[in-house]
Structure 1
Amino acid sequence: MNTIRFKKMDGTAVALKKSDINSSLSGEIIMPDSEKYDDARALWNGMIDKKPSLFVRVSDEQAVVKAVNFARTHGILLAIKSGGHNIAGKALADGGLVIDFQAMTDVIVNQQQQTVKVSPGATLADVDKATQQYGLLVPTGINSTTGIAGLTLGGGFGWTTRKFGLTIDSLRSAKLVIATGELLEVNANQHADLFWAIRGGSSNFGVVTEFEFNLHLAGPEVLAGMVVHPFNDVKNVLQQYQAAIDKAPEELSCWVVMRKAPPLPFLPEEWHGKEVVVLAMCYVGDIAQGQAATAEIRKIGQPIADVVGPMPFVDWQAAFDPLLAEGARNYWKSLDMAQLNTETVTEIAHAIQTLPSDECEIFIAHLGGAMTKVAPHATPWLNRNAHFTMNIHTRWQHAQDDDLCRQWARQLHAKLTQYSMGSIYVNFIPEGDDNSIGEAYGSNFARLKSIKQQFDPANLFRINQNIVP
């Protein structure tokens, strides 16, 4: 065939000549009959099975401009793939055009100014590897295969958030191709409304071709690791955990993971496959001070294993990668919490006893610290006073278990909502929950909609956690 059929934004379809496509776009063009097509459409979440009509693997800003202009001119669906890690599969559009950033992964560190310029195809591992050789870092997430672009545009939190703030709090500037095809540099002084909007407002406002971050002195060695407890002691562990972290310095972040124990080498074999409570911690600072800061947490209960010690930060950033490998089926439901009250812990205890698969887990991210020092309206991320973000993470291998696993997550989420703060993290919204977008932004939502109306009234950038103008 000499044409490719695309879905349009108005719900109709259009057939475009391959010759016109090739003459209009720059970069590597991947069509459905290409050997690279299936690899291009593979995402972290194996539950997502979308079939775009075309990928354009761009290598520079002008290729992005051409792709945006092409999509706008023909009114076709447009998606942006950076890391492909989004839980809802927003990196792809069925029948649409995908701008693929796999070839744009540069990370350029300015050691003297303590800044870094990052291309949108880079992963957290790419960023950490480049910055940690200078003892510098950007506060990012916890899974090193995550793309920096999607993480940043949604806000971004991880092991160093309590010390250095959210990822967006370190963003200095960005280059952005907007719906008209213009390439803009946005920062606090230029196009300040757009700069405000992209710090948490997802990819609703354009295609970022470069991020510039402030860097922070930390590493290359940190104190990090896990303390593993039997799940039958969960109520005692979480009670003492909350008391301990209330006194924790900002350098320390300690997350809770509840699941069936994987066959980790440091766990006795008799615990493999049994329910456990994991206290996963990272202290960013002097190792001796970290030993003192983590002492109270490590004295809790009678742990099965304690493997906390000095290690390279880049290794800790990748520590959970084997449990989060690409290709499994995943579904998330999340809540922001002020505290872990008795009722919450009781519901969790019941839920862990009925895990629908061995890979399902509940994790509780320890927040606070530096992120609370930024005003709620300074960025779209409104709820900076949450002490915890809880993610009910179902993960499984076979499609026949889809309903079972999703229902388990939804039922637990429904029971816990009454104890939450009513806000959620936009990057954790799963497929089909787009009506939850407003909950992520609260009173900042109206301003986001206004900026969206100004810069993208036709909603060209809609394959995301969409803010409808």
Structure 2
Amino acid sequence: MSASTEPRTHSDFPADFRGTILRPGDDEYDTARALYQGRAADEGPALIARCSDEDDVAAVLRYASAHNVPVAVRGGGHGSDGYAMPGGALVVDLSGMRSVTVDPQTRVVRAQPGVKLGEMDAAAQEHGLAVPAGTVSSTGVAGLTLGGGIGYLMRRYGATVDNLLACDMITVDGRKVRADATENPELFWALRGGGGNFGVVTSLEYRAHPVGPEVVAGKLIFPIDQAAEVLGKLAVHGATAPRELGLLVAIADAPPLPMLPEDVHGKPVLILVVVYTGEPDTADEVVRPLAELGRPLADLVGRTTWVQANSMLDAVAPYGMRMNLRGGYLPALTDDAVDVLLEHVATLPANPGDIYSINISFMGGAISEDVDEDATAFSRAGAAWLWEAICKWDAPESDASYDQWATTLTEAMQPHALTNGYANLSDDLGEEWRRGVHGSEAKHQRLRAVKAAFDPQNLLRFNKNIAPATSD
């Protein structure tokens, strides 16, 4: 959960800051500190510096560095830990920096750190392009990218970091640097998976790819009593699936759709979320075998737009509820791993209005096969599937029961999971987890060296933190 720091009023905040300064009691303060993680609202920051440009970012960081004040960074505000608005902290708020431009000739997309995924999708689709990224349109592209970035296009085009061409970054002492394959290449390596540990990224350049505008997407909904059978067959079927198939499996409560039997409304079902970005005329030969894995209650797969397909999960990802998140990589989708996930559905402490989803993302293809493990800080070695459990609720008194459930599930999944993982799809689980999530110890030490070079005092510590290397 979000960390706190000692309160400080920052009455000496720099006069050359041209953005908006918000303190507790100001009219826009509570709106500005609202995050995807509702638990972060329990205690507010001391000052929110809403930046208008890179110069504002540099001014805040120079001030923080001069006073040895730790800094939190808010981009899209979608992180599950609530690190973007720690209690009592100084916050660099990038949410107003929301420019996104597309060059259709070079297929390069440039986005500022306040841009949301839905905004980038819409801009790129004006030119028939898409950047491989996430699956919820309210996600901020900066945090998504710096943590790795997975979604429906990862099997075809790789992770988001595999399509990142360059970043502009303000260092903790207020300097602007560029990082790409030739300029500051070690920093560029670290930014592709190491999160916001090294500086404040103010722009990101991506390689985009032709996608849509028409794709074939939707949901296949199966009764929960078919889940083990369907997932067992899917584990085998996945080996021959084309890269154009993006697939996320969700175990969640059935929505009250008219085509579903009333007796399953609000009860657990198995949902195959399908996105096929190949030629629409060839979709049937890919989607039909998925429906034939069991006896679906509903087949809602059809032709749609990429923007609509990539926002299918928005309804189960509302902003501002209390939440927790756990997940990890699986080398295989074994019967034993599936059994653990299904068994824990029955023990969820769900109350009316609460939301949960246990997801399994299908990897393989470009994200698993086309990029060397050591090419980026983001790790994917050995991962064939990714499991994720997200719970959302409103009542603070439910915090303990949901956290205990998540801990129990995580412990039960450990024998089936890898030690590396996708940092964005889990709450921070402590130092041992952080040492392993990027893969090898050599990668961890390499990240620590970059951290020491760019943030030796660890002022950027409100994150899944990488401690700077020391000479001890």
Aligned to 2:335: 342
Question: In structure 2, how many angstroms separate the alpha carbons of the residues matched to 1:193 and 1:250?
Answer: 30
Aligned to 2:292: 299
1:65 has 2:58 as partner: yes
Check 1:431–1:416 CA distance in 2 against 1; reply closer, same or farther (3 A cut).
closer
Aligned to 2:47: 54
Query: How far apart are 1:422 and its partner, in Å?
Result: 1.8
Contact kept? 1:25, 1:70, Cα under 8 Å: no
1:27 has 2:19 as partner: yes
Deviates more, 1:252-261 or 1:340-349: 340-349
Query: What does 1:140-179 align with in structure 2 at a 5 Å threshold?
Result: 140-179=133-172
1:382 has 2:379 as partner: yes
Aligned to 2:420: 423
Check 1:354–1:182 CA distance in 2 against 1; reply closer, same or farther (3 A cut).
same
Query: How far apart are 1:269 and its partner, in Å?
Result: 2.8
1:352 has 2:345 as partner: yes
Question: In structure 1, how many angstroms separate the alpha carbons of the residues matched to 2:259 and 2:85?
Answer: 39
Contact kept? 1:137, 1:216, Cα under 8 Å: yes
Question: In structure 2, how many angstroms separate the alpha carbons of the residues matched to 1:238 and 1:432?
Answer: 28
Query: How far apart are 1:170 and its partner, in Å?
Result: 0.7
Check 1:407–1:35 CA distance in 2 against 1; reply closer, same or farther (3 A cut).
same
Aligned to 2:408: 411
Contact kept? 2:40, 2:86, Cα under 8 Å: no
Residues 337-373 of structure 1 deviation map (CA, whole Å, 9 limit, x = unaligned):
0112121122222111222215222100111111121
Contact kept? 1:82, 1:121, Cα under 8 Å: yes
1:371 has 2:367 as partner: yes
Residues 64-109 of structure 1 deviation map (CA, whole Å, 9 limit, x = unaligned):
1101101111122211111100000111222121111121111100
Aligned to 2:74: 81
- Give the 3-state SS of the residue equivalent to 2:39 in structure 1: coil
Query: How far apart are 1:336 and its partner, in Å?
Result: 0.5
Residue number among 179, 186, 189 corresponding to 2:182 in the alignment:
189
**After TM superposition, what 4+ stretches of structure 1 lie above 3 angstroms from structure 2?**
11-16, 431-435
Deviates more, 1:36-45 or 1:288-297: 288-297
Question: In structure 1, how many angstroms separate the alpha carbons of the residues matched to 2:365 and 2:90?
Answer: 41
Equivalent position amino acid for 2:457 in 1 = A
Query: How far apart are 1:434 and its partner, in Å?
Result: 5.0
Aligned to 1:436: 433
Residue number among 115, 118, 131 corresponding to 2:111 in the alignment:
118
Query: How far apart are 1:433 and its partner, in Å?
Result: 3.5
Identity %: 34
Question: In structure 2, how many angstroms separate the alpha carbons of the residues matched to 1:14 and 1:133?
Answer: 46
Contact kept? 2:379, 2:422, Cα under 8 Å: no
Query: How far apart are 1:431 and its partner, in Å?
Result: 4.9
Question: In structure 2, how many angstroms separate the alpha carbons of the residues matched to 1:394 and 1:313?
Answer: 27
Question: In structure 2, how many angstroms separate the alpha carbons of the residues matched to 1:203 and 1:389?
Answer: 23
Contact kept? 1:429, 1:436, Cα under 8 Å: no
Aligned to 1:106: 99
Residues 30-69 of structure 1 deviation map (CA, whole Å, 9 limit, x = unaligned):
1112110001111101122331111111111111110110
Check 1:262–1:79 CA distance in 2 against 1; reply closer, same or farther (3 A cut).
same
Query: What does 1:201-280 align with in structure 2 at a 5 Å threshold?
Result: 201-280=194-273
Aligned to 1:459: 458
- Give the 3-state SS of the residue equivalent to 1:208 in structure 2: strand
Residues 160-216 of structure 1 deviation map (CA, whole Å, 9 limit, x = unaligned):
100010000111111000122110111000011111110000000100110010110
Contact kept? 2:46, 2:90, Cα under 8 Å: yes
Contact kept? 1:257, 1:278, Cα under 8 Å: yes
**Structure 1: 5+ residue runs without aligned partners?**
1-7
Question: In structure 2, how many angstroms separate the alpha carbons of the residues matched to 1:300 and 1:432?
Answer: 36
**Structure 2: 5+ residue runs without aligned partners?**
none
TM-score, length-normalised on structure 1?
0.95
1:43 has 2:35 as partner: yes
Equivalent position amino acid for 1:465 in 2 = K
Equivalent position amino acid for 1:30 in 2 = L
Query: How far apart are 1:391 and its partner, in Å?
Result: 0.6
Contact kept? 1:368, 1:385, Cα under 8 Å: no
TM-score, length-normalised on structure 2?
0.94
Query: How far apart are 1:385 and its partner, in Å?
Result: 3.2
- Give the 3-state SS of the residue equivalent to 1:163 in structure 2: helix
Query: How far apart are 1:15 and its partner, in Å?
Result: 4.8
- Give the 3-state SS of the residue equivalent to 1:438 in structure 2: helix
Contact kept? 2:44, 2:87, Cα under 8 Å: yes
Equivalent position amino acid for 1:461 in 2 = L
Question: In structure 1, how many angstroms separate the alpha carbons of the residues matched to 2:196 and 2:49?
Answer: 18
Contact kept? 1:119, 1:209, Cα under 8 Å: yes
1:312 has 2:305 as partner: yes
Equivalent position amino acid for 1:111 in 2 = P
Question: In structure 2, how many angstroms separate the alpha carbons of the residues matched to 1:366 and 1:437?
Answer: 23
Check 1:34–1:13 CA distance in 2 against 1; reply closer, same or farther (3 A cut).
closer
1:326 has 2:319 as partner: yes
Contact kept? 1:367, 1:387, Cα under 8 Å: yes
Check 1:288–1:88 CA distance in 2 against 1; reply closer, same or farther (3 A cut).
same
Check 1:179–1:244 CA distance in 2 against 1; reply closer, same or farther (3 A cut).
same
Query: How far apart are 1:127 and its partner, in Å?
Result: 0.2
Question: In structure 2, how many angstroms separate the alpha carbons of the residues matched to 1:112 and 1:361?
Answer: 40
Query: How far apart are 1:28 and its partner, in Å?
Result: 0.9
Contact kept? 1:260, 1:276, Cα under 8 Å: yes
Contact kept? 1:245, 1:254, Cα under 8 Å: no
Question: In structure 1, how many angstroms separate the alpha carbons of the residues matched to 2:357 and 2:399?
Answer: 16
Residues 118-145 of structure 1 deviation map (CA, whole Å, 9 limit, x = unaligned):
0100000010000011110100000000
- Give the 3-state SS of the residue equivalent to 1:47 in structure 2: helix
